[in-house]
């Protein structure tokens, strides 16, 4: 049964491995991922931003740990910094979080079937954010079904601890780096995300989704701010799906 | 005095929880619930994957076209050039994400340092 779903060749360590081994392999694979370092630097940028917006170090770390999704964290801090109303801040954060729904739907089929309790599946999706998502989509299909959730928990656990550390570090180095370095830190996230999106694309529909989403995102942001991300996903994704379906025939 | 400060601190954390995690986590749980019987080979899955990919791509483009903070001080053409250079290096130089990221970031730093705004 293990590894019988035929996506890719299972890594050598999975032979006869148990959950504990899979968890440790997940932990060990994190430092070999460029994404970990990029996320680390991006979160340093967030720590600096939170300080600029007037938050305390503990609050900045709390935001990272409890949201674990950078766009939402930025939206929350940004809204506070601009003195927005509580309702506006909540709405902005909720809008950035809607994307987590389809992302979780895509990841869940790979996390099921480990024989671990249901609540652990619900708890494990706290780590669903772009980095953990793209890296998991790259790695999990090759890993035998029962070992996927433990591997993912080990991997995502390291990401979580790293982001918390980075937020703390960023908070304390804020104001000590040049504006150019700050700009480079903020640029890391989009360039890493776009390469990752191409890396996790497995069909022509996915490639078209990257292209159409890139063009549509800024246009919709100009004309329909607030709903732009949701509409970019629905319109761009549906268009890409039909192009992909047409090309499959 | 101390009690007042502690109270204020707690209020801040409760508010951050309500504005942050309470607005975020239910979307993830809804995803778990909706994915119950989903097959990765199904048409619905293909569509949802395209939607989430387009959505994240839109978010990425927005970060580059309408940036916040220090990145907003970098000239738009430098941001676009750096983005294009990073993506091109990734796609055409063996698909190593780290190379793509380094090439893009190096372009941004060098172009800004030499050519200014």
User: Helix A86-98 and helix B2-19: axis angle, to 10°?
Assistant: 40
Using a CB-CB distance cutoff of 8 angstroms, which residues of chain A are in contact with residue B68?
74, 78, 186
Residues 15-74, chain A: which have Cβ within 8 Å of B?
34-35, 38, 45, 49, 52, 59, 62-63, 66-67, 69, 71-74
Q: What is the DSSP letter of A10?
A: P
Looking at the partner chain, which of A93, A125, A210 has a beta carbon nearest the beta carbon of B57?
A210
At residue B44, does pLDDT exceed 90? no
Q: Do A208 and B63 touch (CB under 8 A)?
A: no
- Cβ contact, residue pair A194, B52, below 8 Å: no
pLDDT of residue B8: 62
User: Nearest CB to B57: which of A69, A94, A213?
Assistant: A213
Interface of B with A in 35-54 (CB under 8 A): 35, 38-40, 43, 45-54
Report the 10 Å Cβ neighbour count for A249.
4
Q: Does the beta-carbon distance from A210 to B50 stay under 8 Å? A: no
The pLDDT confidence band at residue B2, using thresholds 50, 70 and 90, is very low
CA distance B34 to A136: 19
B-contacting residues of A 181-200, CB under 8 Å? 182-200
Contact A71 B59 (CB under 8 A): yes
User: Which residue of B13, B44, B46, B56 is the best one to mutate when testing the A interface, meaning the one whose CB has the most A CBs within 10 A?
Assistant: B56
- From the list A94, A186, A245, the residue facing B69 with the nearest CB is A186
- What residues in B contact A190, CB-CB < 8 Å? 60-61, 63-64, 83
Could you read off the pLDDT of A212-247 as tens digits, one per residue? 999 999 999 899 877 777 888 899 999 999 999 998
Domain regions of chain A by residue span: 17-189, 201-249
Residues 6+ apart with CB under 8 A from B102: none
Pick A62's closest partner by Cβ from B13, B34, B108.
B13
Residue in A with minimal Cα distance to B81? A191
Using an 8 Å Cβ cutoff, are A65 and A48 in contact?
Answer: no
Please check whether residue B11 touches A, CB under 8 A: no
Q: What pLDDT score does A87 carry?
A: 80
Question: Rounded to an integer, what distance in angstroms lies between the CA atom of residue A47 and that of residue A68?
Answer: 13
Q: Which residue in A66, A105, A229 is closest to B55 by CB distance?
A: A229
Determine the 3-state secondary structure of A178 from DSSP: coil
ipTM of the predicted structure?
0.82
Q: Tens of pLDDT along A147-202?
A: 999 999 999 999 999 999 999 998 888 778 788 888 888 888 788 889 888 988 88
Contact B82, A191 (CB under 8 A): yes
What average pLDDT is seen over chain A?
Answer: 87
Inter-chain contact A186–B67, Cβ cutoff 8 Å?
Answer: yes
Apex CA A15: angle with CA A13 and CA A17, to 5°?
A: 75
B65 touches chain A (CB under 8 A): yes
Q: Which helix (H) or strand (E) holds A144?
A: none
Interface check A123 vs B, CB under 8 A:
no
Q: How far is CA A107 from CA A4, A45, A124, in A?
A: 19, 27, 11
Please classify residue A48 by burial: count the beta carbons closer than 10 Å to its beta carbon, then call 0-12 exposed, 13-18 middle and 19+ buried: buried
CB contact under 8 A, A192 and B101: yes
Q: What is the pLDDT of residues B57-96, one digit of tens each?
A: 988 898 899 887 788 889 999 999 999 999 999 999 888 8
User: How many Cβ pairs closer than 8 A exist between chain A and B?
Assistant: 292
Domain limits, chain B = 1-36
Query: How high is the pLDDT of residue A2?
Result: 39
- How many Å apart are CA A15 and CA A31, to the nearest integer? 22
Residues A37-60: pLDDT tens digits? 888 888 888 888 788 778 899 999
């Amino acid at each position: 049964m293990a590894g019988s779903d035929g996506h890719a060749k299972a890594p050598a360590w999975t032979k006869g491995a148990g959950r504990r081994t899979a968890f440790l392999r997940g932990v060990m694979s994190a430092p070999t991922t460029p994404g970990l370092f990029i996320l680390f630097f991006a979160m340093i940028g967030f720590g600096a931003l939170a300080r600029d917006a007037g938050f305390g170090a503990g609050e900045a770390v709390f935001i990272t740990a409890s949201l674990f999704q950078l766009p939402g964290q930025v939206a929350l801090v940004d809204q506070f910094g601009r003195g927005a109303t509580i309702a506006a801040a909540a709405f902005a954060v909720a809008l950035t979080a809607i994307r987590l729904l389809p992302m979780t739907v895509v990841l869940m089929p790979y996390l099921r079937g480990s024989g671990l309790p249901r609540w652990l599946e619900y708890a494990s999706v706290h780590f669903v954010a772009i980095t953990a998502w793209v890296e998991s989509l790259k790695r999990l299909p090759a890993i035998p079904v029962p070992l996927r959730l433990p591997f993912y928990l080990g991997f995502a656990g390291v990401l979580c601890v790293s982001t918390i550390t980075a937020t703390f570090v960023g908070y304390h180095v804020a104001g000590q780096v040049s504006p150019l370095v700050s700009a480079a830190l903020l640029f890391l996230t989009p360039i890493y995300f776009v390469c990752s999106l191409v890396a996790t694309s497995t069909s022509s529909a996915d490639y078209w989704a990257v292209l159409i989403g890139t063009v549509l995102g800024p246009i919709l942001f100009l004309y329909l701010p607030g709903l732009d991300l949701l509409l970019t996903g629905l319109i761009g994704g549906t268009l890409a799906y039909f192009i992909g379906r047409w090309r499959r025939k | 005095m101390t009690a007042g400060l502690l109270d204020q601190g707690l209020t801040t954390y409760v508010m951050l929880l309500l504005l942050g995690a309470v607005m975020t986590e239910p979307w993830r749980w809804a995803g778990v619930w909706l994915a119950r019987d989903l097959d990765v080979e199904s048409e619905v899955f293909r569509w949802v994957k395209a939607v989430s990919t387009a959505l994240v791509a839109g978010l990425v483009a927005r970060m580059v076209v309408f940036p916040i903070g220090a990145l907003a001080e970098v000239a738009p053409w430098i941001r676009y050039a750096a983005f294009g250079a990073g993506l091109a290096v990734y796609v055409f130089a063996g698909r190593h994400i780290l190379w793509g990221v380094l090439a893009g970031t190096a372009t941004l730093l060098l172009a800004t340092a030499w050519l200014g705004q």
